[in-house]
Structure 1
Amino acid sequence: MIRFGGFAAIAAALFLATAAFAQQADQQVLKGEAAFGGWKGDRPGVRRLIRPDDLQAPNVSQSVRNGAGRAEIPEGARPLLPPGFSAEMIASGIYNPRAVRVAPNGDLFVANSKAGQIRVYRLAEGSAKPAEKSTYATKLTRPYGIAFYPPGDKPQWVYIANSNSIVRFPYQDGDLKAAGEPETIVDSIPSNGHLTRDIAFAADGKTLYLSIGSGSNAAEKIEAEPDGGLDAWIEAKPLGAIWGSEEGRADVLAFDPDGKNRRIVATGLRNCSGMTVQPATGALWCVVNERDGLGDNVPFEFATEIKDGAFYGWPWYYIGDNEDPRHRGKRPDLAGKVAIPDVLMQAHSAPLNIAFYDGKNFPADYRGDAFVTLHGSWNRGTRTGYKVVRLMFKDGKPTGEYEDFMTGFVVSDDAVWGRPVGVAVAKDGALIVTEDGSGSIWRVTYGKSPS
């Protein structure tokens, strides 16, 4: 790795920061239909603002299957980043790396979902080169979410969200392998359909959050009414709770840290694949994959602060009072009660993870913003997603704008080499990104050039 020294380092850093800030200041924000483009228009610095009023009617365009073929990583390829940033590969050839979380000592815990493993990478100081790596735990069931408890510098447990349970392992600072057998904290989680179970602890450590996605696209085969009748169901259940084969799904749940006192926090979230707690406010945030089959630009994906008791629409409505035509007239009682998300993103982008930037490596104006991984579309005529975007915040509140940050994973209309999944902020302020197209992990830094 090339390093700058002395005055040259300061001058270079100032030049890079000035260039980056100038680019942001001059950047035109794409709005409305202009924000609905495809991968060919993606590049670092492109900024979008999508509002609820920009939503098209359903089925304006034909719903298509357009999955991407996988290409090998081109020789010497690195993702594209804004001026002054660089990306270095930590590892490659991993079978299905998914969520990544950072232990208090800086170790990277990576869910290797299809292999049923959790991997650990300990990087050399200031480098993307692993000084040590290990398989922390095996024989798990499609592990995804990872959280350390209690929050802070001295966790005693590492919690893992399987597709069908939450387990925990005793943990001491620096453990590279599990010290004992897993203890089941939450069981009987529905395990079909969407399998990405994420977990997060409230800042005070008193609440464990769990996201459970739906078992279907839009509950197309759900019974017309629950057993006992709709009126009785509405009276007994949280706002927007669904029944039958989807009961207990499309929700964010909360538990005590020991897995007891299960309760529903929010409903109508088709697939909250990634959760995190905003450092500045302590608010729980979620990124959601919305439903398919309604056309290229319907409905928008979103990131949002999760409000206790809120209903976000699935399966009857989306983005407010927009009724899904597949359920027209079935739940008029819910009209006017659907929470509108905070940040809307291009339909079918497939957001999977979110991390707030609280490090010190990036320029100061990045602090407090959030990064979201977009896994990429399969149900859109013009491919979109396949990138990492930056959600813009001001005084702890989202502006609604988001900006392309890490692109370059798409090779052609038919093939991609990378599909971003996990994102986390390393102890040294670098951004860590996993992608499961080629199975690689990347370290993004500012003000340094890769060797």
Structure 2
Amino acid sequence: MRIHATVRPVLGCLAVAAALTGPALAQQNIDKLKQMKVSGTDLNIPPVPQTGKNADAIRENLKRVKLPPGFRIELFAIVPDARHMAVAPSTNMLFVGTRKTSVWAVTDRNSDGVADEVKAFAPSLNFKVPNGVCWTKDGFLIVAEHNRILNFPAAEFFYEGPDVAVIEVVPQGKLIPVEEESYNHGARTCRVGADGMLYVTLGQPFNVQPRDKLKLYDEVGIGGIVRLNPFDGSKREVFARGVRNSVGQDFNPKDGTLWFTDNQTDGMGDDIPMGEINRATKAGQFFGYPWIQGKTRITEFGYDKDALPPNIVAAQVLTEAHAADLGMSFYNAKQFPAKYQGGFFSAQHGSWNRTKPNGAQVLFTSLKPDGTADKTESFASGWLDDSTGTFRGRPVDVAVMKDGSLLVSDDYAGAIYRITYSEAKAAN
């Protein structure tokens, strides 16, 4: 379609106006919500359909998933683009982040182990990659976006409408320098520690960061983990450095150590570098990147020609290269057998940079008496069809429900699964 020359300037003005209106309106909405005022957003939030051909097809695919004896996996909810999960402390629901513009409120109202309702949380806000969700000790929901952090008081009790109380912990554009925003490695994860501080992973946006970025990233915490006050963003400091792109973390409640996954450098071959699951025992530790990852020296920009920096903390677990280790969660419930209690589950999203695909499974890692990693094994697999190399699902995160069941999110299928255990089934 040709556009007449006299019309182009008008269209151009409209485009500029639209571009300015979006961010301006979003800020206007958050300012209203901070003052407990209504935004004018439609009060009716449409739920995501939970039945139909899509749900039936996902259930059929779950028949391919292999689990240890006594375990069963079922569809818990249809949740588009489901990424990291935060199980509510007081109600039978959870909040689910995405790499798009939605945070989902997922509710099992009748407590039957299947979600009854999935709908957008706080749709009056303009979320941007709200991947990370987590809770403070006293029930405030944290949403860590690409370049902003929000805090929602009593979210599990006041999520029904589009307008919710909100605290702007880190304003838009202040988590990292705006010029370092990238479509690559922008998904944040978060946890609140026993110290009450908020821990946020900040993936560095390159495959390997150039040398001229090292100083800035070291200061800001890009390529590491930062911690800060979860209510006003104060007392910010870099907690861990030398990380390429962590998209999963959890505290071991027994000793307070912070464990986190780290994704591998691409383009070095099918089998290197290996993936990492790390353990931080104190603030200020350095985990080796970009000089080394797993057991592999990084060659880009000549990092392999440098002497290794001192005091590198070695990974606790090395996983198969390019399997994309993401979310993780310690298991301290009682439903699963004693073997699993005190260890942690972690999700592998599955490879893209490999001639033969791998990953797309849930791992379990047991711990030694001294709190270090013992053995890592496949716990749930089958989302990758080995005969065709086709992914039928891509696990992102794992979360433990209050009844001890394990949830697994899948952004490819747009679903959350629930894994349960029964001694009677194990005996058969």
Please, which of 344, 347, 353 is the counterpart of residue 327 of structure 2? 353
| 1:104 matched residue in structure 2 | 89
Alignment partners' CA distance in 1, 2:159 and 2:149: 20
Q: Return the letter of the residue paired with 1:185.
A: V
- Name structure 1 gaps, 5 residues minimum: 1-71, 227-240
Alignment partners' CA distance in 2, 1:244 and 1:209: 17
1:262 and 2:236 equivalent? yes
Instruction: Summarize deviations over 1:377-409 as a string: whole Å, max 9, x none.
Output: 111122111000001113262334211111110
Q: Is the 8 A contact 2:85 2:134 kept in 1?
A: no
Alignment partners' CA distance in 2, 1:173 and 1:99: 17
SS in 1 for 2:255: coil
| 1:147 matched residue in structure 2 | 134
Please, which of 194, 197, 202 is the counterpart of residue 185 of structure 2? 194
* TM-score normalised to structure 2 length: 0.76
Q: Identify the range of structure 1 (399-408 vs 175-184) with the bigger mean alpha-carbon deviation.
A: 175-184
Q: Return the letter of the residue paired with 2:392.
A: W
Q: Return the letter of the residue paired with 1:164.
A: N
Q: Return the letter of the residue paired with 2:80.
A: Y
Alignment partners' CA distance in 1, 2:198 and 2:109: 29
| 2:164 matched residue in structure 1 | 180
SS in 2 for 1:328: helix
Alignment of 1:39-58 (within 5 A): none
- Please report how far the alpha carbon of residue 176 of structure 1 lies from its aligned counterpart in structure 2 after TM superposition: 3.4
Q: Identify the range of structure 1 (183-192 vs 420-429) with the bigger mean alpha-carbon deviation.
A: 183-192
Q: Flag the 1:443–1:74 CA change in 2: closer, same or farther, 3 A.
A: closer
Instruction: Summarize deviations over 1:218-244 as a string: whole Å, max 9, x none.
Output: 12x443xx7xxxxxxxxxxxxxx5437
Instruction: Summarize deviations over 1:95-140 as a string: whole Å, max 9, x none.
Output: 2110011111242211133242232222533x33224444322331
| 2:199 matched residue in structure 1 | 209
Please, which of 89, 102, 110 is the counterpart of residue 124 of structure 1? 110
**RMSD of aligned C-alpha atoms?**
2.4
Q: Is the 8 A contact 1:214 1:246 kept in 2?
A: no
Q: Return the letter of the residue paired with 1:404.
A: S
| 2:418 matched residue in structure 1 | 443
Instruction: Summarize deviations over 1:396-442 as a string: whole Å, max 9, x none.
Output: 62334211111110124331110000210000000011111111111
- Please report how far the alpha carbon of residue 173 of structure 1 lies from its aligned counterpart in structure 2 after TM superposition: 5.5
Identity of aligned residues (%): 31
Q: Return the letter of the residue paired with 1:143.
A: P
Q: Return the letter of the residue paired with 1:136.
A: F
Please, which of 119, 131, 144 is the counterpart of residue 161 of structure 1? 144
Q: Return the letter of the residue paired with 1:170.
A: P
Q: Return the letter of the residue paired with 1:182.
A: V
SS in 2 for 1:98: coil
Alignment partners' CA distance in 2, 1:181 and 1:108: 18
- Name structure 2 gaps, 5 residues minimum: 1-56
Q: Return the letter of the residue paired with 2:412.
A: G
Aligned residue pair count: 353
Q: Return the letter of the residue paired with 1:147.
A: C
Alignment partners' CA distance in 2, 1:406 and 1:123: 27
Q: Identify the range of structure 1 (102-111 vs 207-216) with the bigger mean alpha-carbon deviation.
A: 102-111
1:89 and 2:55 equivalent? no
SS in 2 for 1:327: helix
Alignment partners' CA distance in 2, 1:87 and 1:340: 34
1:327 and 2:301 equivalent? yes
1:250 and 2:223 equivalent? yes
Alignment of 1:332-347 (within 5 A): 332=306, 334-347=308-321
Q: Return the letter of the residue paired with 1:103.
A: A
Q: Flag the 1:123–1:313 CA change in 2: closer, same or farther, 3 A.
A: farther
Alignment partners' CA distance in 2, 1:159 and 1:247: 20
Q: Is the 8 A contact 2:218 2:241 kept in 1?
A: no
SS in 1 for 2:384: coil
Q: Is the 8 A contact 1:134 1:176 kept in 2?
A: no
Q: Return the letter of the residue paired with 2:142.
A: Y
Instruction: Summarize deviations over 1:23-72 as a string: whole Å, max 9, x none.
Output: xxxxxxxxxxxxxxxxxxxxxxxxxxxxxxxxxxxxxxxxxxxxxxxxx6
Instruction: Summarize deviations over 1:245-289 as a string: whole Å, max 9, x none.
Output: 996410101112321111111111101101111111111111111
Alignment partners' CA distance in 2, 1:169 and 1:217: 34
SS in 2 for 1:168: strand
Please, which of 391, 394, 397 is the counterpart of residue 419 of structure 1? 394
Q: Flag the 1:408–1:203 CA change in 2: closer, same or farther, 3 A.
A: same
Q: Flag the 1:217–1:83 CA change in 2: closer, same or farther, 3 A.
A: same
SS in 2 for 1:365: helix
Alignment of 1:356-375 (within 5 A): 356-375=330-349
Alignment partners' CA distance in 2, 1:171 and 1:137: 13
Please, which of 286, 290, 302 is the counterpart of residue 311 of structure 1? 286
